[in-house]
Structure 1
Amino acid sequence: MHSALLLPALSSVSSRAEMLPLATCLGAAWECVVADWPGFGDAPRAGRDGLHPEMLDVFLDRLIGRAPAPFALGVGAGHAAPYLVRAALRHPARFARLVLIAPTWRGPLPTMLGASRLTRAARRAFEAPGFGPLLYRAATSRRMLERMMRGHVYADPATVTPALLAAKRAIVRQPGARFATAAFISGGLDPVHSRAAFLALFGAGLPPTLMLRPRGAPRKSAAEMDALGATGHVTRVEVPGALSAHEEYPDAAATAIRDWLPG
């Protein structure tokens, strides 16, 4: 049986549960390891300043090191994609192939505002005692979550059902969740800090890599995916969906992966 490591995207609602539909669609031929990132999902929450890129690198190194055999496939969505690529470069014998789904490298606030004092101030505000929890609750209210999910996470507004919204709200309401959100949205978990650095991760030393580029990806994120596709270092396949195409259209994602794999 083939083995696959599936890594969810980093976001305020990040959870390994978002990868389960894809794992199911890959079928009985694959043994899937689906992991939560530290500080996200059901994983233990980190405190203030507890999350940074080096910590996530160490987490992946340990996760890969515990696997009894190399993975036939590594799958990373969103921000997980460049972290997976970096891990594959550090451990060249541990992955036969990589799949990157809607790969991103820049957090929401740096994407909107650029690297600025304002993005760093936002992280400090979310982390602050007293005011921080109030700001976080306002930013992750039901209305704000629904707006985010309909705006760029899912392509079809009908996907955002009351049941899905309730499940995502349960994630953001876990004690300490605001610290992971603060780190991500402010760019504190960005694995690189420029398009050039992102593209430099690809090339010699990587196993064959497939990029699934959702047709409904937000404009700025799509531009980074298209720049990666233009390098020729990855195989680009378009799929339906937005930033969570693996969750919204798992059948299409699984079909693209199976079609790309050698017979």
Structure 2
Amino acid sequence: MTTTLMPKAAQIGGTVQTFQWQWQNQTFAIAYETRGSGTPVLLLPAFSTVSTRGEMQGIAEQLAPHFQVVAMDWLGFGQSVPRSVAQAIRPSLDYRPALYRQLLQDFVRVHFQQPIAVVAAGHAAGYAMQAAQQPNLVSKLVLVAPTWKGPLCAMGAPTPVRDGVRELVRSPGLGQFLYGLNTTPGFLKFMYRRHVFVNEARLTPDFIEAKHQITQQPGARFAPAAFVTGTLDPMANRDEFLTVGRSLTMPTLVVIGEQSPPQSKAEMAALAALPNIQSVRLSGTLGMHEEEASEVAAIVLPFLQT
């Protein structure tokens, strides 16, 4: 596993590199970016159809004067691609939680000599919590609007339905057509307005178009199809979510978005109620790590510095 420079545009204002990661006899170029100097902090973007490390830019800007900030693109999202492919083609893997658990653990073990502080948003929080159960990987945890249920799971869709939707979206032809319908600029704005951002004025045409472009890479539908249908849920149920939360021995901060969807907010509150967890409530919803980056960073910075 080696690290090489990657000729791609910076998204958090740092140096872009790749981590050569092996999974099931294939090698993938995992894109990550480093900014600042000092004690390292790992930033993990939320899983979503438009997931990229760029959504962590606001937090990175606030932390970089004090820490070395490292932000990673999850495989199947952002700029992480198969090593042998020159284009930005996202692989059509059978995306499962085991892949992301191993990727996160391997990335941390290779790149950091000491246990690392992690700031994770959305579903990434669940994977960070699981990584923190491993010895000598994580020193502190910040979980921003943490979730463990994918959208269809949260809506109550039964497993056979969710599995059918995933396979339909993965299919050639029809799958790409259905994915296209669910990633039009209008639909993306609807979803952002519904449960990602609070301030609709932030959803400018330029903002939505930038998000739309993220969805247009070849192969972009495969990993989001797994996320939306609950295939990437890091935990199977609330009991497991809270059991992992109780097992955390390092300082852990949960940031709850006050305008989060009721079901998601209830899960955040249940985690925050554990005796070993610190918590704070801020204005925002599931995209608060991007929309309310300055407010989140103002809470995170002193927590990391303590």
- TM-score under structure 1 normalisation? 0.95
For residues 30-69 of structure 1, what are the structure 2 equivalents within 5 Å? 30-44=67-81, 45-49=90-94, 51-69=95-113
Q: Which residue does the alignment assign to 1:89?
A: 133
Q: Is the 8 A contact 1:48 1:127 kept in 2?
A: no
Select the structure with the greater relative contact order (CA < 8 A; seq sep ≥ 6): 1
**Which range moves more in the overlay, 206-215 or 113-122?**
113-122
For residues 1-263 of structure 1, what are the structure 2 equivalents within 5 Å? 1-44=38-81, 45-49=90-94, 51-90=95-134, 92-261=135-304, 263=306
SS at match of 2:50: coil
1: CA distance, partners of 2:174 / 2:74: 26
The Cα RMSD (Å) is 1.3
Uncovered stretches (5+) of structure 1, i.e. residues with no partner: none
**1:174-222 Cα distance to aligned partner (Å, 9 max, x none):** 1101001110000110111100011110224431100000111111110
Change (3 A) 1:248 1:193: same
Q: Is the 8 A contact 2:133 2:247 kept in 1?
A: no
Give the AA of the match of 2:258. R
Q: How much identity, in percent, do the aligned residues show?
A: 38
- Structure 1 consecutive aligned stretches of length 4 or more whose deviation exceeds 4 Å: none
Q: Is the 8 A contact 2:97 2:234 kept in 1?
A: yes
Q: Is the 8 A contact 1:3 1:71 kept in 2?
A: no
User: How far 1:223 moved relative to its partner?
Assistant: 0.9
1: CA distance, partners of 2:45 / 2:214: 14
SS at match of 1:33: strand
Structure with bigger helix share is 1
**Which range moves more in the overlay, 114-123 or 134-143?**
114-123
Work out the number of aligned pairs and report it: 261
Give the AA of the match of 2:58. P
- TM-score under structure 2 normalisation? 0.82
